Amino acid sequence: MWDAVQYVTGAFSLVAFVVAAAVAAYTAFLKSRVEVIKSGQGKARGDTLEAMAQLLRVDKKLPTRTKEELVLALIHARMRRDLLIAGVALIIAVILAFIVTRSPSALPLNLLGEYQVKLGPNGGCNNGLRNTFPNTPALIKSDGLRPIARNECGSESPVRVSSDGKTIYAWGERGEIKIVNGTLTITYQDGNSWEKLQ
């Protein structure tokens, strides 16, 4: 399960991961209690049965055999319920992530497309000369979940868009989004700019 950490890329996937991890940990705890009750010996078995009976609010006056059957049935019911809750939480997180990544605030002004790059006073990647227009266009595309930017040198970075839709963040840089005379332009901190091709 811990291999899934690499796929946690946003708030909704983080919530889904935390819910799944909590349910997995709680389910493992309940399974271990079931094993001790079913196959444990002596004091450990009795203490576990009494602790789980108290946790599950089973009447202390019941005979041990009846109490054991009731506790095991309640544990199995809780595991099924928790699995259902985790499944519903995961489905809701996936739906919300889908809605957010498709919403206008996630991709304002239709950022997807090709861009003519103008290198600023510092030049660009692969020794790009300053104040020139590289032949290879930049690109903002979607990987199905989020926008990805690719610069004129082929380097890619996930894109995060500000909630007001006026700023993007890629490669650890901020880019200001503007529309002038119907043309979308992104100007980065280093002075490079991208003009969307029609």
Residue 11 pLDDT: 63
Listed by start position, the domains of the chain span 2-102, 113-196
Task: Please name the residues in contact with 128: beta carbons below 8 A apart, sequence gap of 6 or more.
Answer: 119, 134, 152, 153
**Largest Cα span, the chain:** 86
Question: Percentage of residues in the chain with pLDDT exceeding 70?
Answer: 86
Residue 117 pLDDT: 94
Residue of 176 and 1 predicted with greater confidence = 176
Catalogue the E-assigned strands of 82-192: 113-118, 138-142, 147-150, 156-158, 160-161, 167-170, 173-180, 183-188
* pTM score: 0.46
Give yes or no for residue 149 having a pLDDT over 90. yes
| The pair of three-digit structure tokens given for residue 19, joined into one six-digit string | 């819910």
Residue 89 pLDDT: 77
Residue 100 pLDDT: 60
Give yes or no for residue 104 having a pLDDT over 50. no
pLDDT per residue as tens digits for the range 112-138 = 899 999 999 988 888 888 889 999 999
SS3 32: helix
pLDDT per residue as tens digits for the range 65-102 = 898 899 889 989 988 888 888 788 778 877 776 666 55
| The pair of three-digit structure tokens given for residue 6, joined into one six-digit string | 């690499």
Mean pLDDT lowest among 9-13, 43-47, 135-139: 9-13
CA gap 19, 178 in Å, rounded: 39
Question: Which fold is adopted by the domain 113-196?
Answer: Lipocalin (2.40.128)
Task: Please name the residues in contact with 186: beta carbons below 8 A apart, sequence gap of 6 or more.
Answer: 115, 168, 175, 176, 177, 178, 193, 194
